[in-house]
Amino acid sequence: MNFLDFSSEIISSRQNRTVVELCKLSDRKEREARRLFRFDGIKLFDEAIRNGLDLPLVVLRASSADAIKKRMEALHGEGLFSRFGRVLLLSDDVFSKISEEKSPEGVICIAKYIDKFQKIVTIYNSADFLHMKNERIVLLESVRDPSNIGAIIRSAAAIGIDRLILSADCADIYHPKAVRASMGTLFNQPIDRVPELSSVIRQMRENGRRVFAAALDEDAVRLGDFIPESGDCVVIGNEGHGLLPETVEACDKTVIIPMTDRAESLNAAVAASILMWEFSK
């Protein structure tokens, strides 16, 4: 079968209904309503296949289609493209206009939300934590930059954090910038979003965990001056304002990363990576 049989024509209009619907997924409300998200690039396409994501739509740039087909089938077997709901070819001009990459690689995917790993949950009592008792957990509050969220997810996967728990007002993990920054680790990282973080922290403490707030105050312990225990968790806050007072109050202690006076603060994703590394040891 000729590769072009996947599509009866090369789409050359941005007003094509499928192209319009694809572009709408840049909006969070649209993503949540349809429970679909988009991502660009061969690396993420490859990771999506490796992790078994459901891909209702794969869009290819016409000039790159055959090369991408050969490359991906060499990795994942012949007949790969028959597994997807639909495969479309776009003219190079239209593809370049809708791609979110500076240097488009020729593929855009639409995937279903990863309900197996990422959930909106309410955690109220110890029974909810039974399946998490041996997990290494990090909590995020009000981290608003999707690139930071994606970078934290990537670091969490690399370091071996078992679960991230996010407050409801964190950036959308399915934002294209978050997906790109995660470099595909989003596709298998367990993540819970909770409506209220301080109650989760209090329940964690009742279950025997120590919870540290990454916050600057006069009683803060310096990272490296104490030995984290198994089960310890850390909470990382907003890029500009840090953690809410009630969140800090809910924790056992506060912790700071020692720094020179040459910098006022660290990027949230960098700080999170340092904290996750130290607590995971």
**Under CATH, which number does the domain 3-112 receive?**
3.30.1330.30
> Using CA atoms, how far apart are residues 18 and 24, in angstroms rounded to an integer?
10
Per-residue model confidence (pLDDT) at position 6: 53
Per-residue model confidence (pLDDT) at position 129: 63
Residue 8 has pLDDT above 70, yes or no: no
Task: Please give the order of strands across the beta sheet that includes 233-236.
Answer: 118-120, 191-194, 163-167, 137-140, 233-236, 211-214, 253-256, 221-222
Per-residue model confidence (pLDDT) at position 1: 31
Question: Which two structure tokens, joined as six digits, stand for 179?
Answer: 């997906």
Per-residue model confidence (pLDDT) at position 263: 81
Domain 118-280 class, CATH top level: alpha beta
Task: Please give the share of the chain, as a percent, with pLDDT higher than 90.
Answer: 70
Q: Please tell me the least confidently modeled range out of 81-85, 106-110, 157-161, 175-179.
A: 81-85
pLDDT band of residue 163 (cuts 50, 70, 90) is very high
Question: Which two structure tokens, joined as six digits, stand for 61?
Answer: 């740039």
pLDDT band of residue 22 (cuts 50, 70, 90) is very high
Per-residue model confidence (pLDDT) at position 267: 87
Average pLDDT over residues 208-212: 93
Strand partners, 112: 36
pLDDT band of residue 125 (cuts 50, 70, 90) is low
pLDDT band of residue 5 (cuts 50, 70, 90) is very low
* Domain regions of the chain by residue span: 3-112, 118-280
Per-residue model confidence (pLDDT) at position 4: 41
Per-residue model confidence (pLDDT) at position 266: 85
Average pLDDT over residues 27-40: 96
pLDDT band of residue 130 (cuts 50, 70, 90) is low
Residue 25 has pLDDT above 90, yes or no: yes
**Average per-residue pLDDT for the chain:** 90
Strand partners, 109: 39, 58
Per-residue model confidence (pLDDT) at position 124: 55
Average pLDDT over residues 192-210: 91
Residue 113 has pLDDT above 90, yes or no: yes
Residue type present at position 229: E
Per-residue model confidence (pLDDT) at position 122: 63
Per-residue model confidence (pLDDT) at position 115: 86
pLDDT band of residue 2 (cuts 50, 70, 90) is very low
Strand partners, 119: 192
